[in-house]
């Protein structure tokens, strides 16, 4: 597969999409006279096969559950009226998107349509209505792994739960790597969990192909416009932006940071000033980010920062911010878990294992042996949404016109 030449999603008819004329009277609100994008695929739910339509009135938006694309995208819990099925609806105002955002959206839609793996989120339907792009995907009752952390596990998850979540995410990642794609956005908020306990990898806005003109490249050099909030997960070689470039092993580093995030309830480096974080990543961390909660009470992690590697920037701030967490009882992790993260966070990307190699790591074998019950038994009951709990949103007529205002949401736990 060659590199995608992504042009404006509104004006380019992409072969992967089915394109149909919009004969509705509301089509006068479209940005162009080009046919509207409309693509869908049937979804098997139980014994029923659901056919998804491009009629916005068939989707009852109930509450906002997330944001994405620098707040240009809102994600809603919705009910598919013909079948009563709950779905997630991502709505993006294309008029406000830059060319780079449009390219990212088109990239996401095309690749989500082409990927076929049980641990990769697939789309049910994609269509435009006026200046709005609608993306319909299955609803995940547990939201993201990040939402689980904030809601139920603020001090971090158990190894058994971490192992099940990571195994599913890495399985999907391995599939992507085998097909020549770098995810570049691995983190807990991009790992979704269904009500059936299935784990899905999402967040494809920054996918990058290693295949160009039929040849697989050893490295790429592209540095997309990441949000600064993404920096803690990014690998040193990706941030370095030098002549060596980076490859799929940069995702393995992000897996290691995500494992720390799930274990400790917060992301390594996130409390550091940005300059210090970059220095720590590029020169090697002065403390073990996977061991933030494993020190005996009263023993400060900051003593390791005086090894000569640390720049000294923000040292007093780091000591202050860690003092409260050190008052809590220490949490310990198995040697296998420590080893998994050490491998993922190795400074030399060539010494990190592949995603496929990680799946056979002793940590996952250990979790499988120790976890006798099902994955669902490790989770609290999923939130049951009822009509009385949902917030009112404007009628479907809003989405056929450019320039409408966004419905306001409540809790946000999905991220595009």
User: Of the ranges 106-120, 230-244, 370-384, which one carries the lowest mean pLDDT score?
Assistant: 370-384
* Four-point Cα dihedral 275, 279, 281, 287, nearest 10: -100
Find the mean pLDDT for residues 315-330: 39
Find the mean pLDDT for residues 274-285: 82
Q: How many residues does the chain have?
A: 416
- pLDDT at residue 324 is higher than 60: no
Q: Architecture of domain 145-378 in CATH?
A: Orthogonal Bundle (1.10)
Most confident region among 32-41, 70-79, 94-103, 258-267 by mean pLDDT = 258-267
pLDDT digits (tens, 9 = 90+) for 265-274: 999 888 888 8
> Tell me, what's the pLDDT at 412?
41
Q: What are phi and psi of 73, to 5 degrees?
A: -115, 135
- Domain 19-139+385-411: assigned CATH number: 3.30.200.20
- pLDDT at residue 253 is higher than 90: yes
User: Of the ranges 101-105, 208-212, 385-389, which one carries the lowest mean pLDDT score?
Assistant: 385-389
**How many CA atoms within 13 Å lie on the side-chain side of 35?**
11
What is the distance between the alpha carbons of residues 321 and 327, in angstroms, rounded to a whole number? Answer: 12
Arithmetic mean of pLDDT over the chain: 76
Q: Please say whether the beta carbons of 298 and 326 come within 8 A.
A: yes
> Tell me, what's the pLDDT at 398?
54
Q: Which residues contact 71 (CB under 8 A, 6 or more apart)?
A: none
- pLDDT at residue 72 is higher than 50: yes
Q: Where are the domains of the chain?
A: 19-139+385-411, 145-378
Q: Please say whether the beta carbons of 309 and 286 come within 8 A.
A: yes
Element at 48 (helix H, strand E): strand 48-50
Who has greater pLDDT, 45 or 79?
Answer: 79
Q: Which residues contact 103 (CB under 8 A, 6 or more apart)?
A: 6, 7
**Burial readout 267-287 (b: 16 or more C-beta within 10 A, e: otherwise):** bbbebbeeebbbbbbeeebbb
Q: Which two tokens stand for residue 309?
A: 């590697």
Q: Is the dihedral of CA 19, 22, 28, 30 positive or negative?
A: negative
Burial group, residue 215, by CB count within 10 angstroms (0-12, 13-18, 19+): exposed
What is the distance between the alpha carbons of residues 61 and 58, in angstroms, rounded to a whole number? Answer: 10
What is the distance between the alpha carbons of residues 62 and 390, in angstroms, rounded to a whole number? Answer: 5
Who has greater pLDDT, 284 or 391?
Answer: 284
């Amino acid at each position: 597969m060659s590199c995608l030449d992504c042009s404006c999603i509104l004006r380019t008819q992409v072969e992967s999409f089915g394109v149909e004329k919009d004969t509705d009277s509301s089509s006068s609100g479209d940005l162009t006279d080009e046919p509207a994008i409309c693509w869908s695929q049937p979804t098997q739910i139980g014994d029923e096969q659901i056919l998804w339509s491009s009629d916005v009135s068939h989707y009852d938006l109930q509450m906002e559950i997330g944001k994405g694309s620098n707040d240009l995208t809102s994600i809603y819990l919705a009910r598919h009226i013909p079948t009563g099925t709950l779905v997630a609806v991502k709505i993006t105002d294309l008029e406000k998107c830059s060319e780079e955002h449009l390219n990212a959206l088109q990239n996401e839609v095309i690749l989500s349509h082409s990927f076929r793996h049980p641990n990769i989120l697939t789309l049910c339907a994609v269509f435009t209505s006026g200046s709005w792009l609608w993306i319909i995907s299955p609803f995940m009752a547990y939201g993201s792994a990040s939402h689980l952390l904030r809601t139920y596990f603020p001090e971090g998850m158990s190894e058994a739960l971490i192992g099940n979540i990571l195994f599913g995410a890495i399985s999907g990642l391995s599939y992507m790597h085998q097909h020549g794609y770098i995810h570049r956005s691995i983190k807990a908020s991009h790992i979704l969990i269904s009500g059936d306990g299935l784990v899905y990898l999402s967040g494809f806005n920054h996918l990058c192909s290693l295949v160009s003109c039929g040849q697989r490249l050893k490295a790429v050099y592209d540095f997309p416009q990441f949000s600064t909030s993404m920096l803690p997960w990014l690998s040193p070689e990706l941030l370095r932006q030098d002549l060596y470039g980076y490859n799929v092993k940069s995702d393995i580093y992000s897996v290691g940071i995500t494992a720390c995030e799930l274990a400790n309830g917060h992301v390594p480096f996130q409390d550091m000033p940005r300059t210090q974080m970059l220095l720590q990543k590029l020169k090697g961390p002065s403390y073990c980010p996977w061991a933030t909660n494993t020190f005996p009470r009263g023993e400060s992690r900051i003593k390791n920062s005086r090894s000569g590697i640390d720049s000294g920037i923000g040292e007093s701030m780091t000591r202050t911010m860690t003092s409260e967490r050190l008052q809590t009882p220490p949490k310990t992790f198995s040697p296998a878990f420590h080893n998994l993260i050490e491998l993922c966070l190795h400074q030399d990307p060539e010494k990190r294992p592949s995603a496929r190699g990680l799946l056979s790591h002793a940590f996952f074998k250990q979790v499988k042996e120790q976890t006798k019950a099902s994955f669902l038994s490790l989770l609290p009951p999923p939130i049951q949404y009822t009509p009385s709990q949902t917030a009112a949103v404007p009628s479907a007529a809003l989405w056929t016109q450019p320039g409408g205002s966004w419905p306001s949401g409540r809790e946000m736990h999905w991220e595009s």
